[in-house]
Amino acid sequence: MRNKILLKNKGKYKTLKLAKGIDIKHLKKIKRYNYTEGISTIGYGDTWFVTKYGKGLFKSYKHYDFNVSKDLRIISELLYNEVAKQVGVKVAEYKPANINKDVGLISIDVAKNGEKLIELSELFGKDLVIDNFETFYRALSVYRVDYNFNEKEIYFDLFKMMILDELTFQEDRHNSNIHFLLTKDNTIKLSPIIDNEFAFGVKTINKFHNFGSEQMRTQDFLKTHAGYMMFPVYDRTTYLSTDVRYKENLKHLLQMSYGRKEYEEFVIKCLNNINIESAINNVEQLGYKISADYKKYLKDITDLSKQIFVSTIKETKQIHPQCFDYDVEEILW
């Protein structure tokens, strides 16, 4: 059975259908976990429960919405997960679920075997603000005596998350939305990526009259894109306009790949392997129905982000010919 939702966007109605999945009303509810013990930190209306598989979370998407409709946020969450899996990035698994006719998503806790989930904002104490990769790198160098970690792995995992966020126009990646798993022996690693309901520029959608707006198919999209909520490489782009900030941050990301073959290969893998049509198809197989104009919007902004990536790589090769040893003209999508 499907729950039909009407989405009103600037006076024009669009119809999406949300799947009604697992009915979890019979499961035992438990008190909300502290952020160090669970999968989610904010999300008003979230309900914790216990199953034979362990503790988990139901996200209702009721209140914490930034004026973005519930259905768009649920679909964005699922689409981000599908895209991440296409390029081998670890994400928390979400499935359709409902509690008392409230349609949302269900997820099993990503923390296993005594691990604790810690926000980046809390990793080094509340007094140290970590709001970009540069400050994280410095802080980890200072606090390396307090934590055990694989330096190569943790930086590469963050790089992959940041590249994926750029490609999907993530609008909600801040230091309380990046999580680490902490083991009993004080080893830290990046957790599977969670809380991606504001990917694909869903906040920006509200600035346009409808999904099919001609503006959405041009780089004018970047001028209103809420990219200030992406996790930047440096803080030097903070006060730039959103379109310039997006491109500058991408340049910094690509510079991180100099001399690192695996970084470059991951970027090329994203450009070649991310297939938004396949992701949409997988989400619809769960029982969701995505309108034709929203599908077009998703394809348009995915094509736009890939075009910007390729043009930025070309610019980079002119300055640093030794990087990205690929013929970018042969990059297909």
Paired residues of 311 in beta bridges: none
Strands 47-51 and 102-108: unpaired
Distance separating alpha carbons of residues 270 and 113, to the nearest angstrom: 32
Q: What is the pLDDT of residue 52?
A: 57
Q: What is the pLDDT of residue 77?
A: 93
Q: What is the pLDDT of residue 237?
A: 55
Distance separating alpha carbons of residues 146 and 124, to the nearest angstrom: 9
Distance separating alpha carbons of residues 306 and 310, to the nearest angstrom: 6
User: pTM of the entire structure?
Assistant: 0.84
- Long-range contacts for 286-289 (Cβ within 8 Å, ≥24 apart)? 286/19, 286/21, 286/78, 286/95, 286/96, 287/2, 287/17, 287/19, 287/20, 287/21, 287/96, 288/16, 288/17, 288/18, 288/19, 288/74, 288/75, 288/78, 288/96, 289/2, 289/16, 289/17
Distance separating alpha carbons of residues 241 and 248, to the nearest angstrom: 10
Tokens describing residue 269? 């893998």
Distance separating alpha carbons of residues 281 and 266, to the nearest angstrom: 24
Alpha carbon 310 to chain centroid, angstroms: 21
Q: What is the pLDDT of residue 236?
A: 58
Residue owning tokens 């994926």: 164
Q: What is the pLDDT of residue 42?
A: 41
Contact yes or no for 233/250 (Cβ under 8 A): no
Mean pLDDT by groups of 10 residues along the chain of 333 residues: 35 43 54 41 56 69 67 91 97 83 80 85 82 89 85 94 94 88 91 91 68 57 65 70 80 85 93 96 90 88 91 82 61 39
Q: How many CB atoms lie within 10 A of CB 299?
A: 14
DSSP state of 221: H
Q: What is the pLDDT of residue 188?
A: 93
Segments of 150-236 assigned E as strands: 179-182, 188-190
